[in-house]
Amino acid sequence: MTEVSPGGPSPPGSFSVAVGQSVRTLPWWRTPTARRYLFGYTLLAPAVLYVGLLVGLPFVFSLYLAMSDASVSSPVARFVGIDNFMSALENATFYTALRNTVVFTVGAGILKGLLGTSLAFLLLQPFKGRKVVRALIVIPFTLPIAVSVLGWKWMFDSQFSVINWALSRLGLIGSYGSPDWPVWLGQPGLALLSVMFVNVWRGFPFSAIVLLAGLTSVPPEVLDAAKVDGASFMQRFRKVIVPMIAPILFVGSAFDTVFTLSDLSIVYLLTNGGPDGATEILPTLAYNTGIRGGALGRGAAISLFLFPLLLPAIILLLRTLRRRQY
Amino acid sequence: MSHERLAETHPTTLSRRSFLTTAGGAVAGLTLADMLTARQAPAQIKGTNLRLLIWSHYVPAYDVWFDKFAKEWGDKNGVKVRVDHMPHLELPARYAAEFAAGAGHDLMYFAGQILTGQYYRNLVDVSDLAEGLGKKYGGWLDAAKSAAQVSGQWYAVPDFFISIPVLWRKDLFASVGMGEPKTWEDLRKAAGQLKAKGHPTGMQFSHCNDANHNWRALMYCYGVKETDPTGQNITIDSKEMREALKFAKAMYDEGMTPEVFSWDDASDNRFLASGVASWIHDAISAFHSTRLTNPKVFEQTFVVPEVAGPGGTWNVGEPNVWAIWKFSKNVPAAKEFIQGLADSQKDAMQASLGYNMPFLRGQYTKPMPYLGNDTKLGKLQDQEKITAFLGFPGPMTPPAQEVVTTFIIPDMFTRVARGGAIEDTMKWGVGEIRRIYAKHKAS
């Protein structure tokens, strides 16, 4: 029961409670609503603090660097506005890197999705040693990236490539030195395909495991019911399985997109962006400009171009996910 | 000996005061003399710690020697020395992190990428030490200054440089009626003839260190100057650069295969050791690895310090220098360590199998360690006369380093080799270099 307190209307955010004849005014922070809010925000605070410190601060720091003339050796930087972004846009290599980044991320994402899905369905089938195979399948993902990429570097070697030697023995290509001997990391199209392939090799077991977790959560009765209703495999997949595991799919896709877009190691170790920018992606360009070249401001600006690429994709994924939850 | 001279000039008539003054001076003089001869470090560094960061050398035996040297030096001088090795490509990121944190190693090493010009405001001025070494060992090579000086002051002390000569197959050259190559034209001609026999040549057109060195060696031999001697103004947009690109295109078409577009720093080593290469342009690690892996090929592999071009003979080396952070907790020990290492140059060069080329003129006295005892490598004993570094004839400034780390020069050669028009390539490459220099000037 709310009453107007004596002496005029209550200040905003406070209210009066009649107790018998006496009226007591509570300060706003002691009201039940305020307490409820306070409790909610207190519970939320650790997560906000965590995200703020680990994501927000580095992001703001990146913005600060990108808008300054900071170098690796200069602790005090000057504000230069959007100069560094303009400098990136004036750099012809930047456009090559941007194009390669999109091709690399989208191409690898599609391949990982296809291979991951196929593998997940295969691993779902009952067969002898399934548990062992399921454990072995994640090895590429668990190996230290430097070790596995160096292994691939040898396999892609222009002279001693085991892939080429196998293809040559099978009569599919000529011998070493012949014009059809592929130079995996030297021919522009092949080089980009090769680095993408290594990313897919490393990442698709992760996709498969994520999907497998989703698939095992689909109740068999639902699938059986769909079968009884005459749904084909593809219909069951599209109309039953995908909608049911959509949240897992979206979160997995979001993770994979972020990891692929910001993947520096594979390209850096295999080609370092060469030859002539054929495999240059934004992370390698940013690293070579900002850290190795010392131009921290320009490096940060290049890396921030990943943000507008990533933001719409993540917003789309999360919004779709949210809609499905309601 | 000092004692004897003092005794002769000052007989028993000394007063107590003059005796103490003279004796004190004699003791001080003796201590200094002993320190200089026996390299006894000053007492102030005893009981201290020294942390140093160095690259992982291409010759593993050198790392073994270096770690042993560091330990023995530490034991002798009462300093606890900790040596950290790291691949050279990872060093720049490490230094950026140490600088940002204001803490890290007392003594650090610039290898591959020379960051003296980048960090000099935060490095200890080591002019006293560098000039002392210069006086003691016959003076520094001119090239040393480009890697270690900024505005005439020494902010780093050169340790050694890596020479990148021509390694050629005598038997293969003889098979096409050729002897030791003297010019780039000789190399081109040999590669063209030998490619047809299954023995092409190769120089990296990719994004690796060797690509940056090798193509610059050709450029400088063609008379290309990347900047003026101050390092401030770009002079690469020249007739000489166009000629160098034209020559490289011809040499690629006639004597190489597309695999050079994928090569890393070690690919040419393997190419030589496999017996396929007619010649390569690489450090002598390729020579040593071939000795171990293919003795027959090694027998026929010979060394030429560098071949000549229309603009002269220039070999592009890779310098390695020591520097000390201003925030180092042990500057005296760091300086003493550098001094001790410089005094042990002969042992170091021997341990590196002749790889570590000295920066000090006096250390070129023949026979040089290791090189002087090897009939093939002996030719490298005059390397100091033809050595230049990246950015030549300017110093290794921050913009020059950024041009190196973004691989603009190798990319220019790649574009032309793949059929790009020279003028378009020049427009792109020079434009990129100008943009980088302009940004550094503005900041």
* Alpha-carbon span B342 to B159, nearest angstrom: 7
Interstrand relation of B80-86 and B49-55 (parallel, antiparallel or unpaired): parallel
d(CA B215, CA B410): 7
Same domain, B73 and B155: yes
Q: Which of B237, B297, B249, B306 is nearest to B270 (CA)?
A: B297
pLDDT tens digits, one per residue of A178-210: 889 999 999 999 999 999 999 999 999 988 988
Domains of chain A (ranges; CATH) run 1-30 (no CATH), 87-325 (1.10.3720.10)
Does any domain span residue B66? Answer: yes
Among A61, A64, A158, A268, pick the best mutation site for testing chain B contact (most B Cβ within 10 A): A158
**B64 and B137 housed in the same domain:** yes
Give the A window 21-60 contacts with B, CB below 8 Å: none
- Picking from B123, B259, B293 by the largest number of A CB atoms within 10 A of its own CB, the best residue to mutate is B259
Q: Are strands B157-162 and B356-357 parallel, antiparallel or unpaired?
A: antiparallel
Domain for residue B1, yes or no? no
Mutate to test the interface with A, among B261, B265, B276 (most CBs of A within 10 A): B261
- Predicted local confidence at residue B41, as pLDDT: 66
Same domain, B233 and B329: no
A36 pLDDT more than 80: yes
The answer to whether B258 contacts A186, with C-beta atoms less than 8 Å apart, is: yes
By CB atoms closer than 10 A (0-12, 13-18, 19+), residue B434 is middle
Contact A160 B270 (CB under 8 A): yes
CB of A134 within 8 Å of a chain B CB? The answer is no
Residue A126 exposure: Cα atoms within 13 Å on the Cβ side: 0
Contact criterion met (CB below 8 Å) for B303 and B377 = yes
Contact A72 B99 (CB under 8 A): yes
Domain presence at residue B129: yes
Residue B306 sits in the same domain as residue B429 = yes
Q: Which residues of B touch A158 (CB under 8 A)?
A: 259, 262-263, 267
Residues B128 and B53 in one domain: yes
Q: How far apart are CA B336 and CA A60, in angstroms?
A: 43
Q: Are residues B324 and B311 in the same domain?
A: no
Q: Which of B332, B348, B381 is the last residue of a domain?
A: B381
**pLDDT higher than 90, residue A269:** yes
* Distance of alpha carbon A279 from alpha carbon A266, whole angstroms: 10
CA distance B401 to chain A (A): 6
pLDDT along chain B (443 residues), means of 10: 35 42 42 47 85 93 95 95 92 92 94 90 96 96 93 96 97 97 98 96 95 96 96 95 98 96 94 97 94 96 97 95 96 96 96 95 95 95 94 93 94 97 97 92 76
Mean pLDDT of A50-73: 91
Q: Are residues B174 and B144 in the same domain?
A: no
Q: Which of B381, B398, B420 is the last residue of a domain?
A: B381
* Residue % of chain A over a pLDDT of 70: 91
Chain B contact for A265, CB < 8 A? no
Same domain as B435, residue B290: yes
Question: Could you tell me if A203 lies within 8 Å of chain B, comparing CB atoms?
Answer: no
- What domain range is B89 assigned to? 47-163+318-381
- With CA atoms as reference, the chain B residue closest to A187 would be B261
A303 vs B1, which has greater pLDDT?
A303
pLDDT of residue B434: 95
First to last CA, chain B: 58
**A182–B contact, CB cutoff 8 A:** no
Pair (B53, B92) in one structural domain: yes
Q: Is residue B67 part of a domain?
A: yes
Assigned domain for B5 exists = no
B281: distance to nearest CA of chain A, Å?
18
Asked if residue B51 is part of any domain, the answer here is yes
A275 upstream amide cis, omega within 30 of 0: yes
Residues B181 and B288 grouped into a single domain: yes
Tell whether B3 is covered by a domain: no
Q: Which residues pair with A16 in a beta bridge?
A: A3, A25
User: B207–A292: do the CB atoms touch at under 8 Å?
Assistant: no
* Contact list, B398 vs chain A (CB under 8 Å): 71, 293-294
- In the sheet where B301-304 sits, what is the strand order? B279-281, B166-169, B301-304
Whether residue B294 is found in the same domain as residue B186: yes
Looking at B381, B396, B420, which one is the last position of a domain?
B381
Mutate to test the interface with B, among A64, A71, A73, A160 (most CBs of B within 10 A): A73
**Nearest-CA distance B431 → chain A (Å):** 9
User: What sections of B236-304 are H helices per DSSP?
Assistant: 239-255, 267-273, 285-293, 295-299
Ramachandran region, residue A223 (left: φ > 0; alpha: ψ -120 to 50; beta: rest)? alpha
CATH number at residue B306: 3.40.190.10
Question: Does residue B35 lie in a domain region?
Answer: no
Give how far B359 is from chain A: nearest CA, Å.
25
* Whether B292 and B423 share a structural domain: yes
Nearest Cα of chain A lies from the Cα of B38 at a distance, in angstroms, of 38
How far apart are the CA of B318 and the nearest CA of chain A, in angstroms? Answer: 16
Q: How far is CA B79 from CA A143, B44, B51, B71, B74, in A?
A: 40, 10, 10, 9, 4
| Pairwise CB contact (< 8 Å): B207 & A160 | no
Instruction: Return the structure tokens found at B351.
Output: 């341990």
Least Cα separation, residue A201 to chain B (angstroms)? 21
- Considering only the beta carbons, identify the residue of B262, B398, B406 that sits closest to A185: B262
Inter-chain CB pairs, A–B, below 8 Å: 136
Structural domains in chain B (count): 2
- Residue A141 confidence (pLDDT): 84
Q: Is the ipTM of this complex over 0.95?
A: no
